[in-house]
């Protein structure tokens, strides 16, 4: 006799399928479940449920669009008319792959004040100020002089934005701000790519 005949409708045979609010009450170590509402695959470690994968974040999933936001430590900049804010990210487990492009507009711009920051699409793991958790590559373009600068970026104590954005200044690194490496104005650009650990 077919198993479906013994147990009833075939849709009832769903081992390990639940939702985030209906996980097994008494799981055993090594038990694997799939949450239908979050699309996450989890395994029970013996003390807690651990995420091991996400169907929406598989290596074959498309990049997800994201609008990056440029802010500053003291006064946020105004990108102005005709500005561009474009970004994409993909998450595989704890790894987040993130690329962004921000360009000031052609009019109505204001550089703001203070060190620049760039928002993150997924909250990042932090080190509490002990040093960057990761590093990414950075490209900065000054439209008025057509000079380009390269740099690095990372994160220390902030989960929602990149807090350490530096450009190469000779043999050293200096923070990118409203007036470094140049006074930001119309059509200036900043773009980058980073891989970081999700919170």
pTM (predicted TM-score): 0.71
- Over residues 4-61, the pLDDT tens digits come to 444 444 444 445 788 889 898 888 888 888 888 888 888 889 899 988 877 666 655 6
Whether residue 140 is predicted with pLDDT greater than 80 in this model: the reply is yes
The domain total for the chain is: 2
Residues 42 and 70 in one domain: no
For residues 134-140, average pLDDT: 85
Whether residue 133 is predicted with pLDDT greater than 50 in this model: the reply is yes
- Over residues 56-113, the pLDDT tens digits come to 666 556 789 999 999 999 999 999 999 999 999 988 778 888 999 999 999 999 999 9
Domain range holding 157? 64-197
Closest CA to 87 of 151, 158, 168, 162: 162
Residues 187 and 157 in one domain: yes
- How far, in Å, CA of 16 to CA of 35, rounded? 8
Are 34 and 22 in contact by the 8 Å Cβ rule? The answer is no
Residues 127 and 170 in one domain: yes
Q: How confident is the model at residue 158 (pLDDT cuts 50, 70, 90)?
A: confident
Residues 101 and 17 in one domain: no
Q: Give the CA dihedral 44, 46, 47, 53, nearest 10 degrees.
A: -20
Structure tokens at 38: 């979050």
Residues 116 and 191 in one domain: yes
């Amino acid at each position: 006799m077919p198993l479906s005949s013994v147990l009833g409708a075939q849709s009832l045979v769903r081992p390990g399928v639940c939702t985030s609010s209906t996980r097994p009450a008494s799981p055993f170590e090594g038990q694997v479940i799939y949450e239908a509402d979050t699309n996450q695959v989890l395994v029970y470690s013996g003390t807690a449920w651990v995420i091991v994968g996400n169907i929406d974040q598989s290596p074959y999933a498309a990049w997800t669009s994201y609008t990056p936001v440029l802010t500053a430590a003291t006064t946020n900049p105004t990108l102005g008319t005709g500005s561009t804010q474009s970004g994409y990210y993909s998450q595989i487990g704890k790894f987040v792959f993130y690329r962004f492009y921000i360009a000031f507009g052609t009019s109505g711009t204001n550089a703001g004040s203070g060190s620049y920051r760039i928002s993150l699409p997924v909250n990042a793991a932090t080190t509490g100020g002990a040093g960057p958790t990761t590093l990414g590559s950075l490209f900065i373009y000054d439209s008025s002089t057509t000079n380009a600068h390269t740099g690095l970026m990372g994160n220390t104590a902030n989960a929602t934005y990149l807090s350490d954005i530096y450009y190469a200044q000779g043999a050293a690194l200096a923070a990118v701000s409203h007036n470094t490496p140049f006074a930001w104005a119309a059509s200036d650009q900043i773009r980058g790519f980073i891989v970081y650990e999700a919170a």
